[in-house]
Each structure stands twice: as structure tokens, then as C-alpha cells.
A and B are shown apart, each in its own frame.
Chain A
């Protein structure tokens, strides 16, 4: 019903971070949009700017980091023009975020119940009365699949397992009924089996509440199982984006191709893993137009001067020499 209605649009965002005394762009001219109910995956290696992108949207950039340019529209309103005070009407209400490490997101000295009530007091003022609040908390814990929610409320974070803590985090961020959930590697610290359960939970929550999801991960499998659209980030640039099926089975950017080829699997047993030499360049050694050029096997002198975007349907790639999009088996 509300499909194709735009919820969030990021336009030409650049984020600069200090590095040995100077500011360098860690996220460079990033643009994308998310519709209501979209699930978008953001893949990239460490240092590619994934988390900075999410923090920029939530208005949670660390103080020493500068957002040098660009606009973030949420529901038609430019978040970058709002004061800190005005931003608070969105952050924690409409836009919420879960992080990788649930142990550091929760206060170890307070019970789960205390911390969840705090969220209710701040962000759900319409729920009045102790009994109603308690009811609401228990319902939300049940929704994320926690047994014996009454007991969970009285527990301290260290008394829960990693998977349970991440469930509590999800219950917490869902309390204000957000419209946009930014999930920054929410399953990375978990075991494979627990990871699958949390992913299923996120998918259920997303469908039930018409949530828009930005899933940040370095794990291709996570994004594949959860997201309709995928963006591949390399050194602060979106190098490839499109429907997940397209991007992860017929990649066109040499980096995406290398990323998929470097994945070890039983099918590749005994074979050398294909990979690009080198690593993501440090901030002071990035070169526009193409940051991948120094590692790219298909680089020519054109790449040092300019870069073109290439589109095929909804699938777009930032490369002068896009690969044919041959099928990759993973």
C-alpha cells in the first residue's frame, strides 16, 4: 500500500575524519534512497565508512568528525538543517539503531527492566501508569522471542547470553515504533546458529511493522538472506548497488567480484582463493576519482582522470570497465 513511498534519501553526503592532524573524507559523495519497507544492505570491509554512514543518518557522528557536505532527507525533512534539539524528535523515535556489541550498548549496572523503562519515559510518553508500562515491556520482550519476560526484566546484562542481549536490544529499539532501523553489524559477534535466529527475528519484525531497514555488515551471507537491495562500499564510495540477487550473483565491479571470489568454501577446496593484493587504502592515500584503482587489475590511465557510472536496469556500478556480470557461484 505504501510501497515506493520514499522514507529516507541521502544526497551527496561526505564525512571527514581527522587523521594525523588533517581532515580526510572517509565517506565520499554518498547518495542513496530508501523507500518505506525497504531492506537495504551495506557491505564493506572495515574502514570503508559503513558505520559512519549510519551514524551520519542517525545524527550520532562523534564530535571530532565533520560532515562536510550533503543532505539527509527523512520523510521530506532535511535532518542536516535541524538543531540538536529538533533532531531529538527523530532520533530514538523514528530512527533507531542497534549495534554490534550488545554488551557495551547496555549499562552493566542497571537491570534490563530499568533500562527499558528509561526508553519508555523518554520516547513513549503516551503510555502512562506503571501497570500499563510493565504490560508494554513484557509484550515487547515476548515479541522478540524471549522466554519468561518478567524474569528478564529483573536481570542484569551479564546474566544474559549474547543472543538474548541482542534480543533485548531489538525489543528496546522497537519500543518507540520506529520507521527506520539502522542495524550496524548486529549479528557479527554472535555464533553462527544464534546469528541465524537473530536474522530471522529482524526479518519478522521488519515485515510486521513495515520497518525500513539499513543493514550494515561485512558478511555477504547476512545481507543476502535479509536484504532486497545491496550497496557495496569501498573506501567511502558506493561502488556497486542494485537488487541483492543481481549484485551478488552477477557482480559488475571488480571489487565486488574479488570479494565474492575470495570467499572460502568447500567447493573451492584445494584451490587458491582469488583475491586482490593489498588492502583498503588509509585515509591519506585515497585518490579520487576511483579509490580501487591501485588494486584494480583492469585499471588504465583513464581511471586516474575520470570515472563513469554504468547502469543496467536498477543495477548500477561505479567503474569505467564494468565486468560483463558473469555468474558467480558462492
Chain B
């Protein structure tokens, strides 16, 4: 019997809370819900864009997948294996599968190591190739992939420009041939022309290595250029998920609509300010306070995620009633 291939990554009911700051010494401790029962899947070779404003749990989600953070509850499957119950030793082979790149390569690259030493580290750490000589050759072979050459190897990170540093960070993540690359706001700190260079690079690498990528950004234009599918988060919850075409053509959730309007991609109302660090609740729609269409139901019950045609998923009460 043929079994269908399991998705590359599957998140099931993932919950992560942080301790909320107390307003008074005598308050009972409260929890801030950073990721609120999140479910999603990623297929092999797919680029999933994750968008939302700061504080909505994008980065927390990424860190949970990379197992840099432990969720309070939920399951994460990598190629069908639940990776959460594994201890650090058993997780090692999986760690190689998931690599992450960040917004600020300055903070990622060790300032006291040369570029060559930085690139050697993942290869040594994961026991890739037999000896350092082979590893050095391998690095020299892979450098042109990210548009760098041998002359950069003896340099230190501070001698490189922001764009070049990001290239080094990308290469060091890709050297171990991961199954999933998590890119957290990787072009946000770069100028437009450098941003274009890095985006082109990611696109080329993606085609060459059939890379699966979780691409996190707050810039809708960038995400819509690169991603096959887009997942919109708001205050830790999934509000909408669809293919890029579908989401831009037919955004259903009022929050998605306002987000697209802010980026000039949709005619509609701009969202109003008022997003605080309030303690998100399970008892209402996270967007109820700001939503122009909110009803009593939205304020008393959290909308379930519904699956529509073409895998379009949305969490909105209005949709359920067919409004």
C-alpha cells in the first residue's frame, strides 16, 4: 500500500506562554500567550511566509520549530517524527535538519573568528566530511553559491558589509544541507539594493537545492514575492492561511484585509492602533477589540480555524455565518 509522504513539518496545537509582567506586587501571576494553539503544515520544497506585526509570535514560532524554545504543550513533527519528546542527544541528527538565519548577521557571526573558521564550525560540529582538509575544500567549493570567493575566507566579520555578512550566515546554515531553513527577517535590516541581492540569492538557492523555507517577515511585498503560501498571525493565533495568489486576491479575515491595505495591496480600512501586551485570552477572538465587524459572538468565543476551498484556512466568526 502506498503511504503518502508525511509533511516536512507539522505543528499540532502548539502553545507557548511567557510570564506576564505584574502590575502590582500582590497580583496573581499571569501568563502572556505568545503562541496560541497553532496548527500548520509545511510540505517539502515549499516556501511558507509567516507575517504579522511585532509581538505576534512569529519569532517564537520559529524558535519553537528550531527547538530553541520549548512549548508548553503541543506536538511538532519533522518528517513524521515527533521531535519534542526527544532529549538533546537524540535530537542531534534532527538539529542538522533545521537551520536558522537571523535579521542581524553581526550578532550571529563570532567577531573573533575568521570567515573560514566560522564556516568550519557547523561542519566540525556535525562531523561532516572526514578531516579539516576536506572541509576547507568543501567550503571553497560552496562559496561561489552565495556570491563570495576565497578572498573573504581570512577576513573577520567586521571587515564585511551587511550584505556580505548575511551571505556568510546563509552559507553557514546551508553547508550542513538542512531540510528546512528558517529565515527570520533576514532582509529587514538591509538597504533596498542589497535586499534585492539577498532575495535573488535565496530564490536561486531555493531552486538549486529544492530548499524548504519558513520565511518570516513583516514586509508583505517581500513575502509575496518569495513565498508559495502565506500564514498570517495575530496575537499568537493563526488568523488566515492560503496560497500567496489566493491570499492577495481574496483575503477573508478583516485583519488580513487591513494588513494588505496598509501595504497598498488591498482597498480597505486601515487597522486602528491599540495592540497592547494584554494577556491574550482563549475566550474571544484576538482581533475582536479592533475588528470593525466584531459581534457579541467574537467577544465571547474564540473562532475555530475553518478550511475552505484550495486549502484556504481562516479563523473568523463572520465567515462562519457567511457574512
Q: Which residues of A contact B (CB under 8 A)?
A: 45-46, 161-164, 191-197, 200, 218, 220-221, 258-259, 262-266, 268-269, 272-277, 279-280
Q: Could you list 9 A-B pairs, sorted by A, with CB under 8 Å?
A: A45-B194, A163-B273, A193-B273, A263-B196, A264-B224, A265-B224, A273-B225, A279-B161, A279-B191
Q: A-facing mask of B205-225, CB < 8 A → 1, else 0?
A: 000000000000011111011
Q: A-facing mask of B161-198, CB < 8 A → 1, else 0?
A: 10100000000000000000000000000011111110
A192 touches B262 (CB 8 A): yes
Which A-chain residue is minimally distant from B147 (CB atoms)? A277
Report the separation of the CA atoms of residues A272 and B206 in the bound assembly, to the nearest whole angstrom: 13
Whether a CB of chain A sits under 8 angstroms from the CB of B244 is: yes
Whether a CB of chain A sits under 8 angstroms from the CB of B265 is: yes
For A196, give its contact among B224, B265, B270 (CB under 8 Å).
B270
A263 touches B276 (CB 8 A): no
A45 touches B193 (CB 8 A): yes
For A268, give its contact among B225, B265, B271 (CB under 8 Å).
B225
A192-B218, A193-B259, A279-B163 are contacts. A266–B248 as well, Cβ < 8 Å? yes
For B191, B225, B273, which residue has the most chain A Cβ atoms within 10 angstroms? B273
Contacts of B218 in A (CB 8 A): 191-192
Contacts of B225 in A (CB 8 A): 264-266, 268-269, 273
A193 touches B193 (CB 8 A): no
For A191, give its contact among B54, B194, B221 (CB under 8 Å).
B54
B192 touches A193 (CB 8 A): no
Contacts of B191 in A (CB 8 A): 45-46, 218, 279-280
B221 touches A265 (CB 8 A): yes
A197-B273, A275-B200 are contacts. A262–B195 as well, Cβ < 8 Å? yes
Report the separation of the CA atoms of residues A269 and B203 in the bound assembly, to the nearest whole angstrom: 10
Whether a CB of chain A sits under 8 angstroms from the CB of B69 is: no
B46 to chain A, nearest CB (A): 15
A230 to chain B, nearest CB (A): 15
Whether a CB of chain A sits under 8 angstroms from the CB of B237 is: no
A279 touches B194 (CB 8 A): yes
Report the separation of the CA atoms of residues A265 and B163 in the bound assembly, to the nearest whole angstrom: 20
Which B-chain residue is minimally distant from A274 (CB atoms)? B196
A163-B273, A221-B264, A266-B224 are contacts. A192–B193 as well, Cβ < 8 Å? no
A64 to chain B, nearest CB (A): 20
Contacts of A194 in B (CB 8 A): 53, 273
Interface size of B by Cβ–Cβ distance < 8 Å?
36
For A195, A266, A272, A273, which residue has the most chain B Cβ atoms within 10 angstroms? A266
B33 to chain A, nearest CB (A): 18
A272 touches B203 (CB 8 A): yes
A262 touches B192 (CB 8 A): yes
Whether a CB of chain A sits under 8 angstroms from the CB of B238 is: no
B270 touches A264 (CB 8 A): no
Report the separation of the CA atoms of residues A195 and B197 in the bound assembly, to the nearest whole angstrom: 25
Report the separation of the CA atoms of residues A163 and B222 in the bound assembly, to the nearest whole angstrom: 23
A272 touches B200 (CB 8 A): yes
Report the separation of the CA atoms of residues A46 and B222 in the bound assembly, to the nearest whole angstrom: 19
For A197, A221, A264, which residue has the most chain B Cβ atoms within 10 angstroms? A264
For B53, give its contact among A164, A193, A221, A273 (CB under 8 Å).
A193
For B221, give its contact among A161, A162, A163, A263 (CB under 8 Å).
A263
A202 to chain B, nearest CB (A): 15
Whether a CB of chain A sits under 8 angstroms from the CB of B242 is: no
A262 touches B53 (CB 8 A): no
Which A-chain residue is minimally distant from B52 (CB atoms)? A191
Known: A192-B220, A269-B224. 10 other contacts (CB 8 A): A45-B191, A161-B275, A194-B273, A218-B192, A221-B264, A262-B192, A262-B193, A275-B200, A279-B161, A279-B194
Whether a CB of chain A sits under 8 angstroms from the CB of B199 is: yes
Contacts of A273 in B (CB 8 A): 196, 199-200, 225
Report the separation of the CA atoms of residues A195 and B262 in the bound assembly, to the nearest whole angstrom: 9
A327 to chain B, nearest CB (A): 18
Contacts of B197 in A (CB 8 A): 275, 277
Contacts of A191 in B (CB 8 A): 53-54, 218
Whether a CB of chain A sits under 8 angstroms from the CB of B263 is: yes
For A193, give its contact among B163, B248, B271 (CB under 8 Å).
B271
Report the separation of the CA atoms of residues A82 and B276 in the bound assembly, to the nearest whole angstrom: 46
Report the separation of the CA atoms of residues A263 and B264 in the bound assembly, to the nearest whole angstrom: 14
Contacts of B192 in A (CB 8 A): 45, 218, 220, 259, 262-263
Contacts of A161 in B (CB 8 A): 273, 275-276
B193 touches A269 (CB 8 A): no
Contacts of B271 in A (CB 8 A): 193
Which A-chain residue is minimally distant from B51 (CB atoms)? A192
Contacts of A274 in B (CB 8 A): 196
Report the separation of the CA atoms of residues A75 and B219 in the bound assembly, to the nearest whole angstrom: 40
Contacts of A164 in B (CB 8 A): 273
Which A-chain residue is minimally distant from B189 (CB atoms)? A46
Contacts of A218 in B (CB 8 A): 191-192
Restricting to B253-289, which residues have a CB under 8 Å from any CB of A?
258-259, 262-265, 270-273, 275-276
Whether a CB of chain A sits under 8 angstroms from the CB of B239 is: no
Whether a CB of chain A sits under 8 angstroms from the CB of B9 is: no
A193 to chain B, nearest CB (A): 5
Q: A-facing mask of B18-44, CB < 8 A → 1, else 0?
A: 000000000000000000000000000
B148 to chain A, nearest CB (A): 13
Contacts of A276 in B (CB 8 A): 193
B213 to chain A, nearest CB (A): 15
A258 touches B221 (CB 8 A): no
Which B-chain residue is minimally distant from A197 (CB atoms)? B273
Nearest 4 CB-CB pairs, A to B?
A264-B225, A262-B196, A266-B224, A275-B196
A262-B192, A266-B248 are contacts. A193–B258 as well, Cβ < 8 Å? yes
Which A-chain residue is minimally distant from B276 (CB atoms)? A161
Report the separation of the CA atoms of residues A274 and B271 in the bound assembly, to the nearest whole angstrom: 33
